[in-house]
Amino acid sequence: MPLGEKYAGDKSKSRYCGVETDFDDDIPNLLSFNLHGGFDFLLATLMDPDYRPSLLDDDKRRSRALPFAGSDLVMSPSQWSSHVVGKISAWIDMDSEDETIREDSEIALKQEIAWASHLSLQACLLPTPKGTSCANYARCLNQILQNLGSMQLWLRIPLDKSEDDEKEASPNHLREGQTDSWELWNSFRLLCEHHNQLSVSLDILSSLPSPSSVARWFGEPVRAAIINTNSFLTNARGYPCLSKRHQRLTTAFFNHSIQIVISGQPVHNVPSPSGLTSENQVEGGWRHPLRPYLDYLAHLYKTMDPLPEQERFELGYRDYLQSPLQPLMDNLEAQTYEIFEKDTVKYSQYQRAVAKALMDRVPDENASSVITVLMVVGAGRGPLVRASLQAAEETDRKLKIYAVEKNPNAVVTLHSLVKLEGWEEIVTIVSSDMRNWEAPEKADILVSELLGSFGDNELSPECLDGALRFLKEDGISIPSSYTSFVQPVTACKLYNDIKSHNDLVHFETAYVVKLHRVARLAPNQPVFTFTHPEYSTKKSNQRYKKLRFDIQSDTGSTLVHGFAGYFDATLYKDVHLGIEPSTATPNMFSWFPIFFPLRTPICVQPGTPLEVHFWRCCGSTKVWYEWCVTSPAASPVHNTNGRSYWVGL
């Protein structure tokens, strides 16, 4: 029974809560017991924990009848697939010094995963690596992953505290000498070459690492969080509850579609309920012993703040890589225009900026006599024309507008709009590239919406340079300036999606993406700034910036998969527009962040600075970015000479 709904039509996987169970050779009864208790799936041990391959006598070895928890016939394939996550035997230790244990472990691991695959399970939970090395474990798993099919493997990792904190008593303890469970995961996934079917299941203990240390995991492929009943506190009424930090962490898991699994025995003496309903009882008034824990998680889920309408609209775009627009080379389609035109927040900001510019340009006493010449360069289907006319009406100023647009299809729409609105006396439509048009007069105000996710990545500087010749010397450009920003991120999903193409080009392309399952590792920093109008005779649109990021020491080690990019623009005076997280314009959806990937992720240790270089390069026919890391390790310079990704002039 799902925990609830965060919003109408909620389909998140985190709605479904599981329960970790002991070995039981009557799987149908075990499943029925827990489903009736309100749980959605089992984390079920597949093999009798007493089984060891080396202990089988010859007859049993010849029979090949392994002690699995019931045959595949005891439940339907859909029941196995929908309600069971297989749990691989916890005793397995592939890196044991004892050769017998090591060989038994390898045999059992392959047998159990083969059985789980035969049952069409969606996922299997792997035991935490033991000992001082996980190389043999990873080697064996690599062999399995080569021919696994579609099943996911979840590596169990304890969300342990650092060496400065008191160690938790846990059966899934860190290996000797290990102080950071993330490093255990990282070494394992590196040995497995970032395989996209290898994920993480976190054991949540009663004490948590620092918030910045925990935040690393939201850029990793975490599929489940296993919360032991020992991690729950007791509220005033005797019911289980979680600490404030555990509540925030659990809510973050819900927001990232990470499923919760309850583990352990009930440790709270919960008062008997006075009014059992059909939801939490079976015949005789029975209630599942772990039901109070499940009810508490359901309460957390249902009382979460609902997703804003904008976030619900963007759900389908989360972590989906898109190639940036080529605004000069390509003509936009009607559907693309329509999406952008629905962003009322953006155009209300433009309207505010134009209104302020008109007020500064024309004093009140001249409002009825002075006509301001305004040029919209890159007019599209007219939203900036409309916003400018509304600003004129609001300020009681007079306008003459030139709407310049190179896309002949959009020009057709512009003509229809002007005729429909009766703007023929005010608006002149110009079907031309702004860089080639010879204006009949100079403009007081130049308005454009040529900004990209990285500010200058849709060639706003080059376009506005070309339009500068028809702006008066004291004229106003809207926007007047814009700055790009970057920050290092862990983004395992994005990295694996790019890696799946198996070529260099995709690793040297900057993508527009609604970032969600990422860990932001340090505050963002400014990169390139452009100001308009720019009359300097030595002006160049080429740029270079060297940046140093210091990651908080309590974060622990991190893996940098690339850099998230944003922009902030000043439209006019105090009117801003942008997606830089600390100053982002609320409820605006025209831009998603940009992502610059690294061909090989860079591991950064605590206290070690991350040094990165960005270049904006300009040629006769294209503009492109190059980027690299020089500390703590050198990466190749990405996209040399724009060989993989560029924006055409």
Query: How far, in whole angstroms, is CA 39 from its chain's centroid?
Result: 28
pLDDT in tens, 281-293: 444 567 899 999 9
Of 150-154, 278-282, 462-466, 490-494, the least confident: 278-282
Predicted local confidence at residue 166, as pLDDT: 40
For the residues of 319-341, what is the DSSP string, one character each? T--BPPP-TTTSPPPHHHHHHHH
Measured distance CA(20)–CA(41) in Å, rounded: 9
Rounded to an integer, what distance in angstroms lies between the CA atom of residue 75 and that of residue 639?
53
Identity at 396, one-letter amino acid code: D
User: In this structure, are strands 481-490 and 575-578 parallel, antiparallel, or unpaired?
Assistant: unpaired
- Per cent of the chain over pLDDT 70 is 94
Amino acid sitting at position 163: E
DSSP states of 136-167 as a string? HHHHHHHHHHTT-TT-EEEEEEE----TTSPP
- In the three-class reduction of DSSP (H, G, I as helix; E, B as strand; rest coil), residue 207 is classed as coil
pLDDT of residue 247: 97
The stretch 366-374 carries a mean pLDDT of: 96
| List of residues 6+ apart from 166 with CB closer than 8 A | 207
pLDDT of 199 > 60? The answer is yes
The confidence band for 280, taking pLDDT boundaries of 50, 70 and 90, is: very low
For residues 242 and 263, give the distance between their C-alpha atoms in angstroms, rounded to a whole number.
Answer: 14
94 contacts: CB under 8 Å, gap ≥ 6: 102, 105, 106, 109, 134, 136, 137, 140
Q: How far is CA 378 from CA 139, 330, 353, 429, 473, in A?
A: 56, 13, 17, 11, 21
Q: Quick one: pLDDT at residue 344?
A: 94
> How would DSSP label each residue in 389-457?
HHHHHHHT-EEEEEEEE--HHHHHHHHHHHHHHT-TTTEEEEES-TTT---SS-EEEEEE---BTTBST
Structural domains of the chain, with CATH: 13-307 (3.20.20.150), 334-449 (3.40.50.150), 481-648 (2.70.160.11)
- Judged against a pLDDT cut of 70, whether residue 59 lies above it is answered with no
Q: In this model, does residue 442 exceed pLDDT 90?
A: yes
The secondary structure of 519-567, three-state, reads EECCCCEEEEEEECCCCCCCCCCCEEEEEEECCCHHHCCEEEEEEEEEE
226: pLDDT strictly greater than 90:
yes
Q: Give residue-wise pLDDT tens across range 72-93.
A: 999 999 999 999 999 999 999 9
At residue 4 the predicted structure's pLDDT band, cuts being 50, 70 and 90, is confident
CA 73 distance to own-chain centroid: 40
Evaluate whether 526 touches 482 at the Cβ level (below 8 Å). no
464, 472, 474, 620 from 534: Cα distances, Å: 9, 12, 12, 20
Q: Tell me the C-alpha distance between 183 and 123, whole Å.
A: 23
Looking at residue 323, what is its pLDDT? 87
How far is it, in rounded angstroms, from Cα 542 to Cα 619? 9
Residues marked active site are found at 449, 458
Per the prediction, the chain carries an average pLDDT of 91
Alpha carbons 649 and 647: distance in angstroms, whole number:
7
State the pLDDT at residue 329.
81
Place of tokens 């100053």: 583
pLDDT of residue 68 exceeding 80, the answer is yes
Q: Which two tokens stand for residue 101?
A: 């244990």
Task: Determine contact, residues 476/572, Cβ cutoff 8 Å.
Answer: yes
pLDDT tens sequence across 584-639: 999 999 999 999 999 999 999 999 999 999 999 999 999 999 999 999 999 999 99
CB neighbours of 344 closer than 8 A, spacing ≥ 6? none
Residue 311: is its pLDDT beyond 70?
A: yes
Torsion 174-178-181-185 (CA) sign: negative
Degrees to nearest 5, angle at CA 197 with 322 and 644:
35
**Whether the predicted pLDDT of 490 surpasses 90:** yes
Q: Are the C-beta atoms of 111 and 119 separated by less than 8 Å?
A: no
62 falls in which pLDDT band (50, 70, 90)? low
Cα–Cα distance for residue pair 189/561, rounded to 1 Å: 14
User: Beta partners for 41?
Assistant: 18
Report how far Cα 127 is from the mean position of its chain's Cα atoms.
27
Summarize the chain as % helix, strand, coil (round to 5).
30, 25, 45
Confidence of residue 7 (pLDDT cuts 50, 70, 90): confident
Residue 277, pLDDT > 70, answer no
pLDDT at 225 over 60: yes
SS3 191: helix
Cα 19 from Cα 242, distance rounded (Å): 17
Measured in degrees and rounded to the nearest 5, phi and psi for residue 381 equal -100, 15
Summarize pLDDT for 329-369 with one digit per residue, the tens: 888 899 989 988 999 999 999 999 999 999 999 999 999 99
Q: Measuring CA to CA, which residue among 569, 559, 568 is closest to residue 524?
A: 568
Provide the pLDDT for residue 161. Answer: 60
User: Annotated binding site for S-adenosyl-L-methionine: which residue ranges?
Assistant: 337, 346-347, 405, 433-434
Residue 276 has pLDDT above 70, yes or no: no
Residue 174's pLDDT band (boundaries 50, 70, 90)? Answer: very low
Note the pLDDT of residue 332: 87
